[in-house]
Structures are given as C-alpha cells and as structure tokens.
Structure 1
Amino acid sequence: MPFRIPIGPYHPALEEPYKLSIQSRGEIVEDVTIEVGFVHRGIELLAQRRNYIQDLVLVERVCGICSNIHTLTFCMAAEEIAGMQVPDRARFIRTIMAELERLHSHLLWAGIGSEDIGFQTMFMEIYALREQVMDVLEAISGNRVNYAMNCIGGVNRDITDPEGVLRAVRSIREGIQKTVIPIFTQNRTILGRTRGVGILTRDEAVTYGVVGPIARASGLAIDVRQDFPYAAYEDLGFQIVTQDSCDVTARVVVRALEMLESCRLIEKALLELPGGPIRPSELVTVVPPGETMMRVEAPRGEVVYYLKSDGSDTPARVKIRTPSDLNLPAIRAMARGQALGDMAIIQASVDPCCSCTDR
C-alpha cells in the first residue's frame, strides 16, 4: 500500500529547512517532491537598495559556508563592467581563499555525511581537520566564517605569513591522505551504505542541469575553474576530478579527491605568490554604466551573478543563481526506487544549501 512521508522542513536528517514529501510503497521510494523557500530573505532586492560597499557585506551573508565566493563573484562582476585589472598578488590570494573555503565546505559535508551514516568516529576525525582549516582562515582574515577579504579591484588583507599557512595546509593534506581518503574509499561501512545508492545517471545529470561535484560524480567533466578560468587558476594549472559510478560513493570520492587538489593549488599559490599591491590605491565606490554576468566555481558548483550598473553607487539590478538551485531537484531522480532508509544519505550527498537557495 502506498503512503506519503513528510521529512522536514525541520528534521534531524536535514541541516537546513526544506521539505521532502516521499511517496513510498512499503520500504521502496516511488517519488519525491521538494519544497524550498522557508527562510527567504530578499537579498537581491536589498542589494539594489544599498551601495556597492554595503553590498559586499550583504552578499557575503548569502551563505555562511561559501561566503567568500559570493563577494568574489560580485567583485569580479563589478570589475568586469569597470574594466579593472586586479593585481597579480590579489589574484593569487583570492585563489588561496577560495580553495581554503572549498576545503572547509567539503570537510563540513563529509562530517555530516559520516554522522548520517552513523560513523561517529569518522565525524570527529573530519571535524578536527575542519578546525585546522578554520584556524588558517582566521589567521589570514581574522574571521572564521565571514572573511571580508574581497574588495572591488583586489583584496582587503595580505597573507603576511605564507610559510606558516603552507605548513598548516601541508598538515591538513597529510590528514586527508591518511584518514579521509582511505576510509571513504576502502571502509566497508562507508561503501556498504553508499555504493549503488542514489544513482543519478549521466543523462539525468544533463537533464536536471546539475553542477559541481554532483555533475562530476555522474561523469560530466565540467568546472568553471577549467572551462572559464578566473583568479590565478590558469597560472596554477587545474586538474579536474570526475567519477563514473554516478552513486553516493562517487559523490563522496569526488569531494575527497577535490580536497587534495585544493591543497595542491593552495601550496603552489603560496610558493609562487607574486609581490606587489593587493588592491587599488583608492576605494572603488561607483561602477560605470553597464551589465555583465560572472560565474565562479563554489564548493557546491557554479555560482552566477548578473550585475547591472546605471553609473551610480548603487546597483540597478543584482541577480544570483546558486548551485543548490540546480542540484536540489535532482534528489527526485536519485530517490526513485531506493530504500526509504537511504533517504538521509541520498539527500545529504547533494550537500543542499537552503541559505543560498532561499536568499
């Protein structure tokens, strides 16, 4: 007999408020509907009522986990309209911050995924590594969450101790190599709960238009850092990570290997960090008339900002598209035909962000 089970909008398996309505026949899921919008904040409208300096503070709060990416994309859009050239040192620092944030986000997800499986020991190991990443972010920016690093034309803070950051990142990489990678790729508990679960085929990934690690775990070699290089990625050389099994295991492995690539990029950027200024000599408060679209690879996938300027100190239009906008609907394809007891890890494997979605 079919029955419907509501999960959320507030539920232990969901870290943020969105609702899954599961239609199930016995223990097998037949269909899922997804509802969002429970914490809508109207950030886009607010951004059109504040000046560019205030908007940097505002868009950084679209998401607490990938706050740096939002200010980076906003600044890059404004710089594109204004025809500004960002100093080389600032480009490298932006790349370092973006990859540290990716490390933080992937480790946060890995810890939550371990907890959903019931692997408490792994959860504690991963969160100890996450603390090290947050210590590095704090050492550079002075903040553990909203870093306030980006400004239009460059960055607000320099990296004054590259050797110290390099030592910390090498320690984090060693922890990922010795703990996270082996357990996520070899442990029977992890593989037993994730292999063959929540399959999103390559064709389904194209149909739903998924981005980021979800797309790459379904065999799609798409990444803004590769396809439309920005910051210092072209200088550093980027290596994309993909998997073909299309299941939760693939999403786990993609994120795990991406953490190693992030460490490599950070180490190389620190070793090759150019000298020179980090921002314009004068604060940019007005952007010339024009419009542009800018894209950046956030931890969850492609973030897109549309920015229109009328030549004043306030944007005429700000439109934001986040990766969870595209990835959340794909839970429906992943869930059909799966066991009801696997729904927690299936939805967690998408790494949904309702803060971004309900901006």
Structure 2
Amino acid sequence: MATRTVVPFGPQHPVLPEPVQLRLTYEDEKVVEVTPVIGYGHRGIEKACELNEYAKNIYLCERVCGICSYQHSATVVEAMERLWPIELTPRINYLRTIWSEMARTHSHLLWLGLLADAFGFESMFMQFWRIREKVLDLLEQTTGHRVIQSVNIVGGVRRDIDEQQKRMIVSVLGEVQKESKSLINALIGDYTVKKRTVGVGIITKEQAISLGCVGPTLRASGVSEDVRLTKYHAYGELNFEPIVESAGDCFSRAAVRARELFQAIDLQLEALSKLPEGEIAVKVKGNPPANEAVMRTEAPRGELFYYAKGNGTRKLERMKIRTPTYANLPAVLVLLPGCQLADVPVNVLSIDPCISCTER
C-alpha cells in the first residue's frame, strides 16, 4: 500500500504569488486529496464600505484587486447608480466598455506571462509582460493612472478620450495584437506545454455548472455563459459572442484566455469606431435613496457581483461583494485529485486565482 504524505503548497510559493495554502495529500507522486486554507489576506472591505460616505467607496473597492481594479470600480459605481436610478449617456457606457476591455487585455497578458513562467519559459514570461506594459501605458494616458485608475464617479467618468488618443489606442493595440499572436502561437504550440496541459485538470461541463464556476474556467468546459450577454455598458451594441472550448482541461482554459485577449482588442477597436458624442457625466442629486441594487459585470476572471443598500443618508447600509475566484475555488477540489504533484502549480494557475479579491 502506498504511503500517504501531506505537504503544504503555499501560502508562500515561487509559482503561486497568492496568499493561499493548499494542503495536499499524495501517494507516491499522485495527489489524492486537497484542502484549501484561506484567510491570510482578509481586510474587511465590505464592513469599511458602511463607514465611508458613498463616493469614497469607489476608491476603496477598486483596491480589492490590483489587477482588475477598473472592473471593481465600474461595478460598484453602477451598483450605486442603480439606487437612484441614474440614466447615463451612451458615451459614458462606451467609455466604460473600452476601459473594461483594456483592463481585460492587460490581465490576460499578465496571466499568459505567469503561465509561461510556470513552465520555466522565463524569456517568454518577460516578453508577455513587456507587451502588457503598452496596455498599462494606454490606461495611464487615458485615465491618468496605470493600476488604480480612479476614473469612474457616480454619474459618469472623470476623463474623456479625444481623437488624438483614439488614434494612439488603435495604433498601440495593433502592435499588441501582432506581438501577442506570435508569442501565443509559440506557447500554445509547444510540445511540452501540450504534454502538461492537454487532458490534465479536467472539469466536465456538468461539474463546472454544479460547482458554480464562472468566467474562462466555466467557458473552457463548454458552457457559453458570460455576463456581457446581459448587454450592460455598451455590449449590446457591439459584436460580441462568448469564447468557448469544450475539453475542460488546463489547455482549454489557456486557449479561452488567449482567444479572449484578441477579442478584447477587437471590442475596443469597435467601441472606439462607434464612440458617440455626448456628456461624460450627469448631475447626481441627493443621497442614495433607501433602496437596494445589484450589479453584475464580467471581470477578466469571471462574474463580479456587487450588492448595495442605501438608507437615504450619505453612508450605505450594506455592501456585498462576490468575486470570480471565490466561485472558482471549489473547482480546485475537482481538478487536483488524480494529477501528478509536479502539475499542481499549473493546475492551480489555470483558474487564474486572485486571493486578494476572494478575501477582500
């Protein structure tokens, strides 16, 4: 009978730059059981939202995550706007769509770099992040900041995109698209990458649905589900269809993100070409009414959920946040048992975990 050994994976590990621990039980080199241990990064942000004036919660919530900070900002703002409700101009919706897809572009480039790093492709890792810098520069030039943009306000946005910036974005995105394509072809087409990802860490369609998976993790298992289909922001006026793979393995999850990278670029270009004239902010009167509102958006990792409850004062009565990784963590309990110990880092990375988001 094989000897069982329990080893801690994290919270500090060179391949997993996230504060989470997985207690792995394995026989020989095969993982047979996994227990996630979370709680290292809890900051009490939801409770803090009840202590601030509502406008200050925008800056607090966009610090839930440094990678998808823009998406948190846009989601909490729209949740609060629905308390009145506030009718936005089409230009505001288009600007928020452009920045949302710009944030998705840099997030997927970051993840592809981490995937290359997990295989030991250090040069490719740096090349993906070099390309990502161009997208971060676009965010800085159009919003004012690279990481924490602080461009959304209740009732609109702080900044506009002028004609000169539009031409600059189109030019830079063309470079990003061209350079990313050659790198992704090299990564996805590599024999060793396929050997360690194809047929590894499978989540079936039924399992993905029952576990409540979201985002690329769900769509890689053959489920065509994406919050952008609800047509929030300007997505109802753009040519958008969810990207789906069917195998449900690590390779499929990588393929979905790679294809979504190019789709995000196409959506930005289409939104820029259709950007309507209009105001970038509308006047907001009074305090958030005694009302409840929910906002769901598609963050780079999947569905992001915000619940806001007003009470007629400048402070909210309740704020609730549900992040994509919180929904995807149960999948780790399915995809890890049965895999080789050496494949654990790539398997965990395949759901693109963000523990900062999860623990808030």
TM-score interval (norm. to shorter): over 0.9
Q: Secondary structure at the match of 2:23?
A: strand
**Pair 82,178 (structure 1): closer, same or farther in 2 beyond 3 Å:** same
**Aligned match of 2:267:** 265
Alignment counterpart, residue 180 of structure 2, candidates 171, 176, 179? 176
Length-normalised TM-score, structure 2: 0.97
**Aligned match of 1:353:** 354
**Aligned match of 2:79:** 77
Alignment counterpart, residue 198 of structure 1, candidates 175, 182, 201? 201
Alignment counterpart, residue 213 of structure 2, candidates 190, 210, 223? 210
Q: 1:307 corresponds to which letter in structure 2?
A: A
Q: Secondary structure at the match of 2:317?
A: strand
**Aligned match of 1:163:** 167
Q: 2:187 corresponds to which letter in structure 1?
A: F
**Aligned match of 2:294:** 293
**Aligned match of 1:320:** 321
Whether 2:113 is the aligned partner of 1:108: answer no
Whether 2:13 is the aligned partner of 1:11: answer yes
Query: Structure 1 residue 175: deviation in Å?
Result: 1.7
Q: Secondary structure at the match of 1:20?
A: strand
**Aligned match of 2:134:** 132
In 2, the alpha carbon distance for the partners of 1:165 and 1:138 equals 12
Query: Structure 1 residue 283: deviation in Å?
Result: 5.5
Judge conservation of contact 2:116–2:187 (CA < 8 Å) in 1.
no
**Pair 300,162 (structure 1): closer, same or farther in 2 beyond 3 Å:** same
Query: Structure 1 residue 284: deviation in Å?
Result: 5.8
Query: Structure 1 residue 186: deviation in Å?
Result: 1.6
Judge conservation of contact 1:149–1:157 (CA < 8 Å) in 2.
yes
Judge conservation of contact 2:173–2:265 (CA < 8 Å) in 1.
yes
In 2, the alpha carbon distance for the partners of 1:325 and 1:297 equals 14
Judge conservation of contact 2:117–2:125 (CA < 8 Å) in 1.
yes
Judge conservation of contact 1:239–1:261 (CA < 8 Å) in 2.
no
**Aligned match of 1:278:** 280
**Pair 179,42 (structure 1): closer, same or farther in 2 beyond 3 Å:** same
Q: 1:5 corresponds to which letter in structure 2?
A: V
In 2, the alpha carbon distance for the partners of 1:203 and 1:97 equals 33
Q: Secondary structure at the match of 2:206?
A: helix
In 1, the alpha carbon distance for the partners of 2:170 and 2:253 equals 28
In 1, the alpha carbon distance for the partners of 2:187 and 2:214 equals 22
Judge conservation of contact 2:26–2:32 (CA < 8 Å) in 1.
yes
Give 1:49-60 correspondences, 5 Å limit. Answer: 49-60=51-62
In 1, the alpha carbon distance for the partners of 2:88 and 2:284 equals 13
Q: 2:66 corresponds to which letter in structure 1?
A: G
RMSD of aligned C-alpha atoms? 1.1
Q: Secondary structure at the match of 2:82?
A: helix
In 1, the alpha carbon distance for the partners of 2:154 and 2:134 equals 29
Measured against aligned partners, the alpha-carbon deviations of 1:53-107 in whole angstroms (never above 9, x if no partner) come to 1111100101000111111111111121212111111111100100010011111
In 2, the alpha carbon distance for the partners of 1:6 and 1:225 equals 38
Q: Secondary structure at the match of 1:315?
A: coil
Q: Secondary structure at the match of 2:199?
A: coil
Alignment counterpart, residue 100 of structure 2, candidates 98, 101, 112? 98
Whether 2:226 is the aligned partner of 1:223: answer yes
**Pair 165,33 (structure 1): closer, same or farther in 2 beyond 3 Å:** same
Measured against aligned partners, the alpha-carbon deviations of 1:119-167 in whole angstroms (never above 9, x if no partner) come to 1122122111111111111111111100011111111111122111111
Q: 1:250 corresponds to which letter in structure 2?
A: S
Measured against aligned partners, the alpha-carbon deviations of 1:177-200 in whole angstroms (never above 9, x if no partner) come to 2322x1233221321221111111
Structure 1 unmatched ranges of 5 or more: none
After the TM superposition, which parts of structure 1 deviate over 6 Å for at least 4 consecutive aligned residues?
none
Q: Secondary structure at the match of 1:81?
A: coil
Q: 1:295 corresponds to which letter in structure 2?
A: R
The sequence identity of aligned pairs, in percent, is 39
In 2, the alpha carbon distance for the partners of 1:265 and 1:293 equals 25
Q: 2:52 corresponds to which letter in structure 1?
A: R
**Pair 54,244 (structure 1): closer, same or farther in 2 beyond 3 Å:** same
Structure 2 unmatched ranges of 5 or more: none
